[in-house]
Amino acid sequence: MSLPGIPVAIRRRYGPVARIVTIACGVIIAASAYLPWAYGSDALDNVTYVGGPSFIQFIALGMGLVLPALVVCSIRWPAGFGRTRVGWIRGARALATGLLIIFVVIAGAISVQLGGTININYGAWVGLAAALIGFVATRFLVQEGAPTVNRLKTPGWLSILAIAVVMLVMLFVAYYALDQSNPGTFVTFIVYTGVGVAVLLRTGALGWLTAATGAHRRVMLLAAFLVAFLFPFTQGGSDANMSIAAQVLVFAATAMGLNIVVGLAGLLDLGYIAFLGSGAFVAAMLSGTAMATFDVHPPFIVTMLLSGCVAATLGLVIGSPTLRVSGDYLAIITLAFGEIFRLSMNNLDGSDGPDLTHGSRGISDTGDLNLFGFDFGATHTIAGIEIGRFANYYFILLIWLAIVILIFSRLNNSRIGRGWVAIREDEKAAEAMGVNVFGLKLLAFASGAFLAGVAGSIKAHVDISVTPDSYVFLQSSFLLAAVVLGGMGTVLGVLIGATLLQLMPEKLRFVNEYRLMFFGLLLVVMMRFRPEGIIASERRQLEFHDEDEELAERLDDNLGPSTGAVAVEGASR
C-alpha cells in the first residue's frame, strides 16, 4: 500500500488512459475465466475447460467485472452520493493489487500441483498479464479522500438485512472452505476472501457495515450464533469437518480465556495451555472409565465445574507472583509453570510419583458424554440430516463458547474490565486511582483459567484420550499467537485468529512439514508490520466514547490503513 507513489501531475495527465486500460483489463480477466487455465484436471477445481468456468474461475469472473464497475462509478459519481464519499478508486486499486496476487497464487498452485509452470495454460497467462497491466494502470489513478460511507444514516431494516447477508456469506465461506480437499483451491479461496474484504474496506463499505451492524449488536450476535448453529446441517452427515470444527471451538474458547489475561489485563502468559490441560486431566480422572485414576464418577456438570475450579486454583497460584513481578519476568514465570505442569503430568505415573495420569501414556478411553439422556457418542437424525459424534460435541462447545464470549464482553464492559485496561495501560496510575491492582490481576488469571479449564473438560471427551504431549509450550505459543494475530482484547479478532491458526494446518496438509516454520516467520512478520493484529482493538474506544466527536474523528482517521503505526502506539502500550 505504501509503495512510492507516482507524482500527481503525471497521474492527472495519464489518468484517463489509465482508466480505459483498467476497464479493459477487468473485462479481459473476466473473459479469461472462459479460457482453460491448466493442462491437467488435478490443479484447483479443474480449470481445464473452454467456455465452462469452474467455481474458482467464476469468482475471478465476478472480481474482474467489479474492477470496471468501480472505475465507471468513479467517473459517474466522482464525489460519491451527496455528502457521502465512496472510495471507488481506493477499492479499484486494492482490487487490482488483489487480482495480481490471486493470479500469482493460481499460477503457483497450478505449477506446484501439476509439476512445473509448463502446465499453466494460456487462460491463466492472459489473466496474469491483464492483472499485471491492471495493477500498473491503477497506480496512475488519483484516489479520493478517505471514504465517509460509515456516517450514512441507515434504516433499521436495511441494517438487519445487511447482517443477514453477511451471515449467509460467512456460512457459505466456512462451508466452502471446509469442503475443499484440494489445498490449491483452499488457498485460492482464502486469498479471494481476503481480497474481497480488502476491497470492502478500501471502498468504505466495511466501515458502513461495521457502523450498521454495531447499532444492532444483539441481532448481530444472535445471527452469528444461529449461523454457527446451522453449520453442522450443511455437512450432510459427514463428521470429518465437524471434528476440525470442534477443535477450532475448543481452541477459540481457550484463546478467549487467554484474551482476558493478555488482551485486557496485559499480563503475558506463556504457559496458558496448562489450564486447558488441568481441566482435561481432571475430567479424565473422574470420567469413571477403566483408565480413570479416581473411583468417583460425578455427573458431568459437576466434573465440568470442578475442572474449572482446579484450573482457577492453578491460575491463582500462577497469578500470585504478580504481586511482586511484572513484565518479562512474569512471562518467564508463567512459562516455567507451564513446563512444571507438563513435567509433573509426565511424572505422576506411579513410578516417580503417585499414579494420577499414567505418565506419558495418559488417560485414554474417557468415554462419551451423556447429558440429560442425550448420548454424545451416537449419531442422531434431526430434520432428516444426520448429526454425528463430533457434531454433538460441536453443539455443546458452541454453547460454551457463547457463554465465554458473554462472560468476556460483560466483564470487559464492567468496572472490572475497565480496571484491567487501566492496569494494562499504566499500573502505577491505576493504583493511584484506587484500582485494586493485585486483586484484579489475580481475578484475571483465575477467570481466564476457569474458562480454559471447563473447555478442557469437554476436550477430554472430544479427544477420547488425554496425554501430556498435547499440552506443551508450543500449544501455549499457538494460543498466544491466536490472540496477538487476531487482535488483543477483541472478540472478533481472537475468533478469527483462533480459526485461522487451527484451520490452516488441517487444510494445508501438504505444507504440514513446514507449517511450524511458517508460523514462526508469521509471528516475526506480524510483529514487524501489524502488531495490533487483524482487528485493532482501538476500534472499541469508539463504543465507549460515541458522543465524543473529536475522538471519533481522530480514530476514524487512524483506522485508515496507512496510519497503522499510530494505532499501535496507542493500542498496545
Q: Is 327 in the site for other proteins (CB under 8 A)?
A: yes
How far from each other are the two terminal CA atoms of the chain, in whole angstroms?
25
CB of 464 closer than 8 Å to CB of 513: no
Q: Is 522 in the site for other proteins (CB under 8 A)?
A: yes
Among 169, 215, 371, 517, binds other proteins (CB under 8 A): 517
Task: State which residue, 365 or 469, has the beta carbon closest to other proteins.
Answer: 469
Q: Which stretch binds other proteins (CB under 8 A): 51-59, 240-248, 281-289, 330-338?
A: 330-338
Query: What number of residues does the chain have?
Result: 573
Q: In this structure, what are the phi and psi dihedrals at residue 545, rounded to the nearest 5 degrees?
A: -120, 45
Produce one character per residue of 18-34: b if its CB has 16 or more CB atoms within 10 Å, e if not.
bbebbbbbbebbbbbbe
Q: Is 333 in the site for other proteins (CB under 8 A)?
A: yes
- Report the alpha-carbon distance of residue 87 to residue 141 in Å, rounded: 12
Q: Is 527 in the site for other proteins (CB under 8 A)?
A: yes
Q: How far is the CB of 350 from other proteins (least distance, A)?
A: 11
CB of 232 closer than 8 Å to CB of 419: no
Tell me the torsion sign for CA atoms 427, 430, 431, 436: negative
Q: How far is the CB of 409 from other proteins (least distance, A)?
A: 23
Q: Is 474 in the site for other proteins (CB under 8 A)?
A: yes
**Long-range contacts of the stretch 232-235 (C-beta < 8 A, 24+):** 232/387, 232/391, 232/394, 232/395, 233/382, 233/383, 233/385, 233/387, 234/171, 234/175, 235/391
Q: Is 510 in the site for other proteins (CB under 8 A)?
A: no
Q: Is 477 in the site for other proteins (CB under 8 A)?
A: yes
- Report the alpha-carbon distance of residue 111 to residue 336 in Å, rounded: 46
Q: Is 344 in the site for other proteins (CB under 8 A)?
A: yes
Q: How far is the CB of 510 from other proteins (least distance, A)?
A: 14
Task: State which residue, 297 or 530, has the beta carbon closest to other proteins.
Answer: 530
Instruction: Decide: residue 170, CB within 10 A, 0-12 exposed, 13-18 middle, 19+ buried.
Output: middle
Among 353, 374, 546, 548, binds other proteins (CB under 8 A): 353
**What string of H, E and C letters represents the secondary structure of 221-272?**
HHHHHHHHHHHHHHHCCCCHHHHHHHHHHHHHHHHHHHHHHHHHCCCCCCCC
CB of 462 closer than 8 Å to CB of 395: no
* Helix residue spans in 413-436 (DSSP H): 415-425, 427-432
Task: State which residue, 70 or 348, has the beta carbon closest to other proteins.
Answer: 348
Task: State which residue, 149 or 480, has the beta carbon closest to other proteins.
Answer: 480
Provide the mask over 216-255, with x wherever binding to other proteins is found by CB under 8 A and - wherever it is not.
----------------------------------------
Provide the mask over 249-268, with x wherever binding to other proteins is found by CB under 8 A and - wherever it is not.
-----------------x-x
For other proteins, the binding residues in 423-442 under the rule CB under 8 A are 426-428
Task: State which residue, 16 or 520, has the beta carbon closest to other proteins.
Answer: 520
Q: How far is the CB of 427 from other proteins (least distance, A)?
A: 5
Q: Which stretch binds other proteins (CB under 8 A): 219-227, 294-302, 347-355, 457-465?
A: 347-355
Task: State which residue, 319 or 456, has the beta carbon closest to other proteins.
Answer: 319
Task: State which residue, 205 or 485, has the beta carbon closest to other proteins.
Answer: 485
- Report the alpha-carbon distance of residue 199 to residue 130 in Å, rounded: 18
Size of residue set near other proteins by CB under 8 A = 50
Instruction: Decide: residue 529, CB within 10 A, 0-12 exposed, 13-18 middle, 19+ buried.
Output: exposed
Which DSSP letter does residue 216 get?
T
Task: State which residue, 146 or 508, has the beta carbon closest to other proteins.
Answer: 508
By the criterion CB under 8 A, which residues form the site for other proteins? 266, 268, 270, 321, 324-329, 331-333, 335-337, 339-340, 343-344, 346-347, 351-353, 426-428, 473-474, 477, 480-481, 484, 513-514, 516-517, 519-524, 527-528, 531, 568, 572-573
